[in-house]
Amino acid sequence: MLNRATNQATDFITGASKPVDIQVGDDGSFYYLARGTSSVMKVRYTTNLSPVITTQPTSELVSVGYPATFSVVASGPSPYSYQWTRNGVNISGATASSYKFATTLADTGARFRVRVSNAYGSTLSNVATLSVTSDKPPVGQILTPVQGTTYFGGMVVHYSGSASDFEDGDLPASAFTWQVDFHHNSHIHPFIPPTTGSKTGTFTIPTRGETSANVYYFITLKVMDSVGLTRTLVRNILPRKANMTFATNPAGLKISLDGGSGRITPFTVTGVVGIKRAIAAPSPQTVNGLSYVFQSWSDGGARSHEISTPAVNTTYRANFISP
């Protein structure tokens, strides 16, 4: 927050997990999208600096012998300390933001919560209840796309899966939930929201949008049996890439890629095959006292035009003349 009197900026949010947007709600409060926790959060002003629990532990249904995991996310001045309890009694050694243990049938009905503390106080979480069943969780597989599939812009991706359960047999389409996300650098963009009711589906890779080559898509399949036990599977599909080198004749002039005033040539970028890029040859240009005007591109395009990232390494050269 900027203090106009002192021109000093100070933090007004603590504990925000990778915020990407902030808006004013109808109630006049600030809300932000937290990429780190995949949630919309409300900014609360308070003089109480005790931890605020932003993600509560949730109740779980687990097959006997499988691990149960409870976790919590808090905001406020750090560092934090944690103490998990079971049925109101502290659990020895359970002093992290998550608590994981192998289950037995005797654990069913146990109630878990955590106390989060900092230098200013402590906050107790909601109760999460554990249910343990002797049923076995379902098994499944992503049939397509197969492991190692790569994509290009404009490609239609077909996905399909199968699943069965020890008690239920083959699971119906209603047991399948698909989700597709786009991973860019260190963050994720939702692409297809969780969709239930089909064993198969398709989606098309866009040809426009993100131009970075540090990207991939991942497909998530979650299957659920009749008692609510689930299995989650993930399949990554990586991009096909190619290098594009941009040059001029004579050398050392500028070329603009995806807007901007231009970069001195030659330069090379790596792109995802099939993604549209905008290239332009600024004209006129002056180098070492000489003026140059655009004449032609090696690919025959106009001075400013779009290209589709090629499947092989390619050089695009802009030719200039000195009038």
Q: Are residues 231 and 198 in the same domain?
A: yes
Residue 280: predicted pLDDT: 98
- Same domain for 235 and 145: yes
Mean pLDDT of the chain: 93
Predicted pLDDT at 250: 96
Give yes or no: residues 269 and 307 share one domain.
yes
- Confidence category of residue 45, pLDDT binned at 50, 70, 90: low
316 plus 249 within the same structural domain: yes
pLDDT digit string, tens, across residues 247-292: 999 999 999 999 988 999 999 999 999 999 999 999 999 999 999 9
Beta carbons of 280 and 256 less than 8 angstroms apart: yes
Do 147 and 160 lie in a common domain? yes
For tokens 């955590």, name the residue: 114
Last residue of a domain, one of 72, 99, 133: 133
- The answer on 218 and 152 residing in a single domain is yes
Summarize the confidence of residues 230-259 as an average pLDDT: 97
State the residue range of the domain holding 31.
2-45
For position 48, what pLDDT does the model report? 78
* Total H helices, total E strands in the chain: 0, 33
- The domain that holds 293 is classified in CATH as 2.60.40
Instruction: Please say if the pLDDT value at position 13 is more than 70.
Output: no
Q: Residue 27: pLDDT band by 50, 70, 90 thresholds? A: confident
**211 & 283 share domain:** no
Tally of domains within the chain: 4
Report how far residue 52's alpha carbon sits from residue 74's, in angstroms, rounded to the nearest whole number.
5
Write down the residue that tokens 């866009």 correspond to: 206
What's the CATH code of the domain at 62?
2.60.40.10
pLDDT above 80 for 318: yes
Take residue 171 and report the two structure tokens written for it. 């699971």
Higher pLDDT, 28 or 60: 60
For residues 213 and 287, state if they share a domain: no
Q: Are both 178 and 270 inside the same structural domain?
A: no
Residues 249, 291: one domain? Answer: yes
Distance CA 106, CA 323 (A): 89
Looking at residue 323, its pLDDT comes to: 85
Q: Check whether 1 has a pLDDT greater than 60.
A: no
73: helix, strand or coil: strand
pLDDT at 82: 98
Residue 181 has pLDDT above 60, yes or no: yes
pLDDT at 20: 74
Distance of alpha carbon 41 from alpha carbon 297, whole angstroms: 50
Position 312 scores a pLDDT of 98
Nearest residue to 318 (alpha-carbon basis) of 307, 300, 288, 1: 300
Residues 266 and 224 in one domain: no
Residues 96 and 150 in one domain: no
86-131 tens-digit pLDDT? 999 999 999 999 999 999 999 999 999 999 999 999 999 999 999 9
Which of 239, 262, 294 represents a domain boundary (last residue)?
239
